């Protein structure tokens, strides 16, 4: 595989991860039962990483997965009413 092709695939993976992080973050912040979602996410991650499925992951991959989820868990719950245009003057 050529260096340019490998870099293009890596760029795609990084962009995809950023997009997925935005999507999942938005879903988490607006979930109707935010606290339950957070608890379930933590439990499911540990089951995935320490159970049969996790046997295929290296210790580095496990740590990176935990850090990824922890980053998402620092998102705050979205307010009940979101008005993105409220700060704009009436035109």
Contact assessment for residue 69 and residue 46, using Cβ atoms and an 8 Å cutoff: no
pTM of the model: 0.66
Q: Once rounded to an integer, what is the mean pLDDT over residues 56-73?
A: 90
Q: Once rounded to an integer, what is the mean pLDDT over residues 3-17?
A: 94
Q: How many CB atoms lie within 10 A of CB 62?
A: 16
Residue boundaries of the structural domains of the chain: 3-73
Reported confidence tier of residue 23, pLDDT bands at 50, 70, 90: very high
pLDDT for res 53: 82
Using CA atoms, how far apart are residues 30 and 77, in angstroms rounded to an integer? Answer: 6
Reported confidence tier of residue 91, pLDDT bands at 50, 70, 90: low
pLDDT for res 7: 94
Structure tokens that stand for 25 in this block: 């973050």
Using CA atoms, how far apart are residues 67 and 61, in angstroms rounded to an integer? Answer: 10
């Amino acid at each position: 595989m050529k260096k340019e092709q490998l870099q293009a695939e890596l760029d795609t993976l990084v962009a995809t991860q950023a997009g997925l992080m935005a999507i999942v973050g938005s879903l988490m912040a607006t979930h109707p039962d935010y606290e339950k979602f957070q608890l379930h996410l933590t439990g499911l991650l540990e089951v995935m990483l320490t159970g049969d499925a996790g046997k295929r992951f290296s210790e580095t991959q496990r740590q990176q997965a935990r850090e990824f989820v922890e980053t998402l868990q620092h998102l705050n719950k979205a307010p009940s009413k979101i008005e993105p245009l409220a700060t704009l003057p009436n035109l």
